[in-house]
Amino acid sequence: MRFTIKREEFLKGLLVAGRAVGSKTANPVLANIKLELNENGLFITGSNYDLTIKTQVPYRFNGVEIIRNFKEGGTLINAKLIIEIARKMESEEISLDVIDSTIATVSDNRSEYKLNCVRPEEYPDLDLDPTGTQLTLAKSTFDALVSQTAFAASTKEQRPVLTAINLEANNGLLTATATDSARMARKEVVIDPNVHFVANVPAKMMVEVDHLLEGLDSVDVSFSDKKALFLLGRTVVASRLIAGEYPNTKNIVPRVTNYHLEVNANDFIKAIDRANILSVERENVVDLSMSEDGIEISAKSQQVGSATEKIDVFKFVGQELKVSFNSEFVVAAVKALSCEDVKFEFVGEMKPFVIRNISDDSVIQIVTPVRTY
């Protein structure tokens, strides 16, 4: 195999596929990126088994020649090395020539590298065919599903299913749910009523796909028993699904609430941020005191003192109430709502409370209070 390619386009493809190459892998072959050149262009693949990304660099695009002086074939090259080489070379073009299936020469008009490479047949077979239930989502829809839920997924591996976003399509709604058991985020979007499926997609994978949607209008998605596959222009992303039954979160949202608080989202976040300076000893826990006379956010530290923030513009309905919570959880939830004013709904001091966008019922956030005594 050999080719000369526009360096910028080559690097873009390497960086996209390289997102799927892990720093540690049980199979050393997966530390490599797979390069395949055929009649349709250069295909660059990276995988860690859980996530696979395959992207195409065409011979020509918009009338501009991208790949020339080529001979079809394939090879496996260490992902970290080839990405660094492509990044640091300064010429407009890079040439790659595979010699006897074991050495790849990478050069421009100034530098030359001879890298050990591996026969492409050594790479594992990867299933990148779209099978099962399929649907198309607009970029804005997919972005909302991810940005308004993924942050609430667990980052701990003790309960793998909680590291996923649960996607459930039923009755014309696609519902995305994420929870780490201390908080929950849920987003609903309208889809074709004939589409039905349930899948636990790793939250990290959903975030990766969202990043790769930059500049595109939509994404084609397919779900089978074991994988989710995303088609993004010339790039295919396949993610394994997380096995196990997702917790039943349908009844977490309280049907009756006794206290309602409406505040400006930006003012609320800033007040928490200032009070949070003194909340380190309590792991970012702050207190929210509410009455019809005033709203206060406070934090205290036995070593350095206390802080109190008053919110002047608000609307509160209910008796006096004080709730303590993890400030990071609440700030993340408020930011995810992406609205000017937010509404808090409380059942009581130690019951999970609701955070809503006043003008958008399709998204809801739940946070569990923290006991401070």
| % of the chain with per-residue pLDDT over 70 | 98
- Range 282-299 average pLDDT: 90
Pairwise CA distance, residues 163 & 152, whole Å: 9
- The least confident of 16-30, 72-86, 234-248, 346-360 is 16-30
Q: Tell me if 66 is assigned to some domain.
A: yes
Residue 158 — very low, low, confident or very high, per pLDDT cuts 50/70/90? confident
For residue 78, the model assigns a pLDDT of 96
User: Among the three residues 209, 240, 271, which one is the final residue of a domain in this structure?
Assistant: 240
Pairwise CA distance, residues 137 & 146, whole Å: 12
Q: Are residues 118 and 142 in the same domain?
A: no
Angle at Cα 63 formed by Cα 76 and Cα 96, nearest 5°? 25
Closest CA to 175 of 160, 185, 183: 185
Q: Are residues 361 and 307 in the same domain?
A: yes
pLDDT tens-digit map of 11-41: 999 999 999 998 777 789 999 999 999 999 9
Pairwise CA distance, residues 202 & 160, whole Å: 9
Distance set, CA 98 to CA 36, 90, 103, 163, 252 (Å): 12, 21, 6, 41, 58
Instruction: Say how many C-beta atoms besides its own lie within 10 A of residue 24's C-beta.
Output: 7
What residues contact residue 178 under an 8 Å CB cut-off, 6+ apart?
149, 150, 151, 152, 153, 164, 165, 166, 184, 185, 186, 203
Q: Tell me if 372 is assigned to some domain.
A: no
- Range 195-222 average pLDDT: 95
User: Among the three residues 122, 155, 171, which one is the final residue of a domain in this structure?
Assistant: 122
Q: Are residues 167 and 72 in the same domain?
A: no
Q: What is the DSSP letter of 241?
A: P
Q: Tell me if 254 is assigned to some domain.
A: no
**pLDDT of residue 258 exceeding 70:** yes
**Residue range of the domain that includes 231:** 133-240
